Structure 1
Amino acid sequence: MVPLKRRKLLSTQTGNNGNSGTDVIGVKAPVKFPDVVIFLLERKMGASRRAFLSQLAAKNGFHVQETFSGMVTHVVSEGNSGAEVGSWLDSQTDGSAHRPVHLLDMSWFTQSMKAGRPIDITDTHRLQQVDESEVEVFSVPSFACQRRTTLENHNTVLTDALSLLAEMAELSAEEGRGVAFRRACAVLKCLNEPVTAMSQLRGLPCLGEHSLRVIQDILENGASSEAESTKCSERFKALKLLTGVFGVGCKTADRWIREGILSLQQLTDSAHSLNRAQQAGVDHYDDLNQPVTKAEADSISVIVEKALVTVLPGATMTLIGGFRRGKQTGHDVDFLITHPEEGAEVGLMPRVVSWLQSKGFLLYQKTTRNSYLEAKDGPARPASNMDRFERCFSIFKLDKQGPGLQSHTQRATDGEGSHFGDAVDSVCEPENGQIKQWRAVRVDLVVSPISQFPFALLGWTGSKLFERELRRWAGHEKSMSLSSHALYDSTQRTYLRATSEEEIFTHLGLEFIPPSERNA
């Protein structure tokens, strides 16, 4: 690129007003091909590469213009579609008619440089022009709970950037901004084709001005400058690191950052007294910030199931969260426990926790009691995504070796206590000072009465945004209040009972969406 100061000087000397073409300066070679005027599109190419190619062409006698004007005959781009370049060209002329120009791929330019002259243009050199009327315009329902969203995402570049901005907003306690970005993400995730032009997004819900600016930046430049800047910011890095400590929320992390604490070492060296959860989070930081695999989740399932069989025969459990939606990794493992006899689950959690502790599986645990009373906490309670089930937040100690995972499954299902005890010993054997044979894994255990089980199953399956949208749909469209405990009809002033997730969707007037398609 020509420095801005020199460009302004040249513009003054030649009478250019900024809208007409400016030749590449600093190159003395005469123009050999005056009928060919080239403009190199910087979008996706980058300023440094464009400057290098411009000087290369000028040295070879080609007429290259620094800015676009009506003199240009050949527009050369790299990594752009014909529709994208055509849209850019229209923006330069305010959509008015302009002199026909050749829209060319970089292959024409490089072959011309190699030949030392402008080569003949063939179809392989031309950017394919797509009539805007032929571009697929997407259409999706307004609520995420009306849409089917699988794990196959055709717009990961767009959603990754928006998710990062959502995360930064959430870490900064800006919930409204975070939800706006998450909703925009959810719309893009459900599309069955990649977005290639802004025109495809016309009329789509939940795409605010900010999200659209981010999308346009990516489509035009290959990346979001705002997302990249956020990712590199010291504040974002510190917030990510500190909230990665089990038991630390964004408010605590923000307070520590304001005190100058930006790393785990600084936290350890500080005078702060950590609570039990936070100390466990620091002690097992690396493990807890490593993704949990489906194989590890299945291994833990065997352990929890054995605990249930031992303390309350007939009790059942379901692996919930992202793993139920088909994900192969997650940040923790969640189980929903119940018993077919209403009331039999009362007092179950302390017995399960006691059994797990006696076998050496728990590095940390905190249990909360069931505090939900339908008459008091149902319709009168403000809508919230927090439930009041009996729950245990824990950190498991799990053998991380492949054979160890296998031995858990085999021994725990063997049915003989001594064999299962061997599996426990495998997990808890002392470290040899060189290789740690186990890893820490976050595990949440939730106990629900059978009458509330379908609502709990729906609420704990996720995704988080899908559940938020279900509650929003219930309130805005049906005058109902939905939680992980119950569904209340405000018009009829009655609870709507259900024995399955399908029945809940029917009550809400929605088509049933299976867990694998709730990945909003």
Structure 2
Amino acid sequence: MNHPVQILDWPCSIKLAMMQLPVKKKHPRRQEPGPPASLEFCVHFPEVVLCLVEKRMGASRKAFLTTLARQRGFCVEDANSERVTHVVSEGNSGDEVVEWLKKKGRHYIDAVADCPALLNISWFTESMSAERPVPIEPRHYLLDALQTMAEEAHFNGSEARSLAFSRAASVLKSLPWTVKRVQELHSLPCIGEHSRRIVQEVLEDGASAEVERVQHSERYQAMKLFTKIFGVGVKTASRWYQEGLRTLADLQVHHAKLSKEQQVGLLHYDDLNTPVERSEAEAIGQVVREAVEQCLPGASVTLTGGFRRGKPTGHDVDFLVTHPTEGQEVGLLSKVISWLDKQGCLLYYSSHRNTFLDLEDLELWSSSSSASMMDRFERCFSIFCLGCLPGALQRGAGAQKPSTATWSPGASRSWKAVRVDLVVSPYSQFPFALLGWTGSRNFERDLRRFSKHEKKMALNSHTLYHVEQKIFLTAASEEEIFQLLGLEYIPPEERNA
């Protein structure tokens, strides 16, 4: 008796088709040889035929991943090939992938006997690292289940609940083993009863009914879609939902009501939700360093965020700028932005001045809110125009800078929009800024919480203040900050939890 295909809907991934079932072997009549993947690479795993979904992945990233897979001995073919056994996608729902496959000619996709495995990009990444197909296991979507619950709580304004699920996901992510039984979680911190219940459902049934209800809810889908737009937060997304808006097409109709930032975010939606490769971040870094050197010789530019933590991809690129002579950095950002804009590098930018409060306001620093005070550096939120070729950036007196009047989503082009944040810090505050802008968000939150409750100190991206002694503590490096807190230094690559 055939059972219906169960497809799970995970954030930033796709549904997994009947994870418990092995990949169906093809009938003899379908054994005809397909087109060779490449004459340059040998196929080491003929039983595994990959298909990479270009939707939201983008043509350039798909081409890169295709080459990588073939170099590792995998066969990669088009969606209409009947030999495909594993479909890999990122940023799409399961329904979107199934519909995409049907448009490519896979009309029998709903039949269990012929359905390829619909896989999260995490399976692909792990397989590439192992240089072999790794088993499809619940670990590929346990974190996503908890992260979905964290997102749902965040969308509903329940930050404490969101933080609890997020911390549980971080703990699972840091484990050096594969979780196979819920009993393995009992001695672990930050994994509450609710999180354990969801993990148990996923391990036993391959899915959590509660998580699936969330993922299929109209509000969750709309909120997730809208908050992925550059310049849109939970409050705005919720207001749009209350007004009856549900899709990007709905927003296009209400285009006049969008801010300039939101308009450009909608225009470049696909690009800005496509992962940025490290090579792309480094290419942008070269141009930023050139701009800074032109405007203020001797100033430094440091790549921060996930890339400093060793991650191969990211959602945006963050740079921290400073100068060893205190005060020289004042006014630098506007010059850098002007230089980049004249070179045709910027599709959009929005600058914010330094609003850091006077350090002598001791009453503020002694209050309970000081430890969580947001940093107030001078900064620029921008969207860069990055060329498709590795390391290439479209420049040249603005002549090659795309115009919204001549380009629309889906049009053929040779460039990519990438989010870039430029932050300028005084040299004396640089170690604290570097620590704060390296992340991760959970790591920084827990480090500041430890400082406040265990050390009676207020830590933020500007400084470290001893509340009881009422003094500011200086540091010349991240290592010194950890020493002041009585902690062993944790290198950036270990701060991803």
Q: Give the corresponding residue for 1:437.
A: 414
2:360 aligned partner, one-letter code: A
Q: Structure 1 residues 253, 350: CA separation in 2 closer, same or farther (over 3 Å shift)?
A: same
Does 1:176 find its partner at 2:143? no
Equivalent residue in structure 2 for 1:228, among 190, 193, 212: 212
Q: Give the corresponding residue for 2:30.
A: none
Tell me the CA shift for residue 384 of structure 1.
2.2
Q: Give the corresponding residue for 2:387.
A: 399
Does 1:374 find its partner at 2:359? yes
Tell me the CA shift for residue 279 of structure 1.
1.2
Equivalent residue in structure 2 for 1:255, among 221, 239, 245: 239
Whole-Å separation in 1 of the counterparts to 2:270 and 2:407:
19
Whole-Å separation in 1 of the counterparts to 2:190 and 2:165:
9
Q: Structure 1 residues 385, 227: CA separation in 2 closer, same or farther (over 3 Å shift)?
A: farther
Q: Give the corresponding residue for 2:125.
A: none
Q: Give the corresponding residue for 1:383.
A: 371
Tell me the CA shift for residue 184 of structure 1.
0.8
Does 1:468 find its partner at 2:453? no
Q: Assess if the C-alpha contact under 8 Å between 1:454 and 1:501 holds in 2.
A: yes
Please list the CA deviations of residues 227-277 of structure 1 after superposition, one character each: whole Å capped at 9, or x if unmatched: 223222222211111112111111111111111100111112137521111
Q: Assess if the C-alpha contact under 8 Å between 2:457 and 2:465 holds in 1.
A: yes
Whole-Å separation in 1 of the counterparts to 2:395 and 2:184:
60
Tell me the CA shift for residue 194 of structure 1.
1.4
Q: Give the corresponding residue for 2:434.
A: 457
Deviates more, 1:370-379 or 1:387-396: 370-379
Whole-Å separation in 2 of the counterparts to 1:491 and 1:477:
12
Does 1:297 find its partner at 2:285? no
Q: Give the corresponding residue for 2:474.
A: 497
Q: TM-score, normalised on structure 2?
A: 0.68
Q: Provide the secondary structure at the position in 1 that maps to 2:370.
A: coil
Q: Assess if the C-alpha contact under 8 Å between 1:431 and 1:437 holds in 2.
A: no
2:194 aligned partner, one-letter code: H
Q: Assess if the C-alpha contact under 8 Å between 1:321 and 1:462 holds in 2.
A: yes
Please list the CA deviations of residues 147-194 of structure 1 after superposition, one character each: whole Å capped at 9, or x if unmatched: xxxx99994432121112111211222211110001111221222111
Q: Give the corresponding residue for 1:125.
A: none
Q: Assess if the C-alpha contact under 8 Å between 1:481 and 1:490 holds in 2.
A: yes
Q: Give the corresponding residue for 2:33.
A: none
Q: Provide the secondary structure at the position in 1 that maps to 2:382.
A: strand
Equivalent residue in structure 2 for 1:199, among 163, 183, 196: 183
Q: Provide the secondary structure at the position in 1 that maps to 2:141.
A: helix
Q: Give the corresponding residue for 1:29.
A: none
Whole-Å separation in 2 of the counterparts to 1:470 and 1:370:
24
Tell me the CA shift for residue 511 of structure 1.
1.2
Q: How do 1:90-105 and structure 2 match up within 5 A?
A: none
Whole-Å separation in 2 of the counterparts to 1:252 and 1:315:
38
Tell me the CA shift for residue 204 of structure 1.
2.0
Whole-Å separation in 1 of the counterparts to 2:370 and 2:160:
18
Equivalent residue in structure 2 for 1:506, among 451, 464, 483: 483
Q: Provide the secondary structure at the position in 2 that maps to 1:452.
A: helix
Tell me the CA shift for residue 439 of structure 1.
1.5
Equivalent residue in structure 2 for 1:269, among 244, 253, 256: 253
1:343 aligned partner, one-letter code: G
Q: Assess if the C-alpha contact under 8 Å between 2:451 and 2:485 holds in 1.
A: yes
Aligned structure 1 segments of 4 or more residues deviating by more than 4 angstroms: 43-46, 151-156, 377-381, 420-434
2:416 aligned partner, one-letter code: R
Tell me the CA shift for residue 503 of structure 1.
0.7
Q: Assess if the C-alpha contact under 8 Å between 1:154 and 1:194 holds in 2.
A: no
Q: Provide the secondary structure at the position in 2 that maps to 1:435.
A: coil
Does 1:160 find its partner at 2:137? no
Q: Give the corresponding residue for 1:313.
A: 297
Deviates more, 1:154-163 or 1:241-250: 154-163
Tell me the CA shift for residue 424 of structure 1.
6.9
Q: Structure 1 residues 447, 188: CA separation in 2 closer, same or farther (over 3 Å shift)?
A: same
1:443 aligned partner, one-letter code: V
Whole-Å separation in 1 of the counterparts to 2:267 and 2:305:
25
Does 1:356 find its partner at 2:356? no
2:285 aligned partner, one-letter code: S
Q: Structure 1 residues 173, 329: CA separation in 2 closer, same or farther (over 3 Å shift)?
A: same
Q: Provide the secondary structure at the position in 1 that maps to 2:201.
A: helix
Q: Structure 1 residues 508, 432: CA separation in 2 closer, same or farther (over 3 Å shift)?
A: closer
Q: Structure 1 residues 354, 379: CA separation in 2 closer, same or farther (over 3 Å shift)?
A: farther
Q: Assess if the C-alpha contact under 8 Å between 2:343 and 2:397 holds in 1.
A: no
Q: Assess if the C-alpha contact under 8 Å between 1:154 and 1:191 holds in 2.
A: no
Tell me the CA shift for residue 485 of structure 1.
0.4
Q: Provide the secondary structure at the position in 1 that maps to 2:384.
A: strand
Q: TM-score, normalised on structure 1?
A: 0.65
Does 1:483 find its partner at 2:460? yes
Q: Assess if the C-alpha contact under 8 Å between 2:344 and 2:397 holds in 1.
A: no
Whole-Å separation in 2 of the counterparts to 1:247 and 1:391:
15
Q: Give the corresponding residue for 2:315.
A: 331
2:428 aligned partner, one-letter code: S
Whole-Å separation in 2 of the counterparts to 1:449 and 1:267:
40
1:472 aligned partner, one-letter code: R
Q: Provide the secondary structure at the position in 2 that maps to 1:451.
A: helix
Sequence identity, in percent?
52
Whole-Å separation in 2 of the counterparts to 1:315 and 1:216:
52
2:469 aligned partner, one-letter code: Q
Q: Assess if the C-alpha contact under 8 Å between 1:218 and 1:224 holds in 2.
A: yes
Q: Assess if the C-alpha contact under 8 Å between 2:230 and 2:262 holds in 1.
A: yes
Q: Provide the secondary structure at the position in 1 that maps to 2:291.
A: helix
Please list the CA deviations of residues 289-321 of structure 1 after superposition, one character each: whole Å capped at 9, or x if unmatched: 111111111111011001001000000011000
1:517 aligned partner, one-letter code: E
Tell me which structure has the larger Cα radius of gyration. Answer: 1
Tell me the CA shift for residue 203 of structure 1.
3.0
Equivalent residue in structure 2 for 1:238, among 210, 219, 222: 222
